[in-house]
Amino acid sequence: MGIQTIPVPVAAAPTLQETQITSSGTFTVPAGVTRLWCHVYGGGSGGAYKTSQNQAAVATAGGVVVQMLTVTPLASLTATIGAGGAAGANYAPGGDGANSVFDSITANGGLGATLYVGATGAGRVLGSSSFDVSSSGANSPANSGAGGASATRYANNNRNGGSGRIIVRYLT
């Protein structure tokens, strides 16, 4: 009897890989991969402004969906990146951001900013004339389709929304 040391072979640890998709196209699942962890971000909306009353409305970031997909190795998956919404001209609302889609996962685009709350603007952001309002999407989730910056008071520097993106992670 006594103590015996027996060597045990250990498989190499899997490596985490990440692919960032910033334009529409096809993603091919790598050989041997059966699960993907997906982060899908919709396009951000455009800002809005109204110079006569010094109002600006902050745009919204696109939605984000985080989901695991079970996939077949070497399968081709379609990726569609949502465009950012266009900035609204004076008195006009900002455009909505477009949806981003990865296989069966859809993240909605942000709703365009508007200065008017009513039948066509219900649920959207109301601008303020009492102070400067500005947003560049800096506080949006990392890598998201940030909302476009709104115009600031006394300036017509409205911005378009940021495009969405897709982040795919997997183990090899």
Which letter does DSSP use for residue 105 in this model? E
pLDDT for the residue numbered 72: 98
DSSP states of 73-99 as a string? TT-EEEEEPPPPPPPPPTTSPPPPPPP
pLDDT for the residue numbered 93: 82
pLDDT for the residue numbered 29: 97
Q: Is 92 exposed, middle or buried (0-12, 13-18, 19+ CB in 10 A)?
A: middle
pLDDT for the residue numbered 44: 86
β-pair partners for 77: 27
Cα 128 to Cα 117: distance, rounded to the nearest angstrom: 12
Query: Mean pLDDT for each 10-residue chunk of the chain (172 residues)?
Result: 73 90 96 96 82 69 91 98 86 87 93 60 32 34 46 57 92 92
* Per-residue burial over 11-42, b = 16 or more CB atoms within 10 Å of its CB, e = otherwise: eeeeeeeeeebeeeeebebeeebeebebbbbb
- Residue 131 corresponds to which tokens in the numbers above? 């102070």
Q: Is 143 exposed, middle or buried (0-12, 13-18, 19+ CB in 10 A)?
A: middle
pLDDT for the residue numbered 138: 36
Strands 35-41 and 64-70: antiparallel
pLDDT for the residue numbered 124: 36
pLDDT for the residue numbered 118: 41
pLDDT for the residue numbered 147: 52
- Backbone dihedral region of 142: left (phi > 0), alpha (psi from -120 to 50 degrees) or beta? beta
Query: In this structure, are residues 138 and 124 in contact, taking their beta carbons and an 8 Å threshold?
Result: no
Domain boundaries, the chain: 16-172
pLDDT for the residue numbered 40: 93
β-pair partners for 49: 56
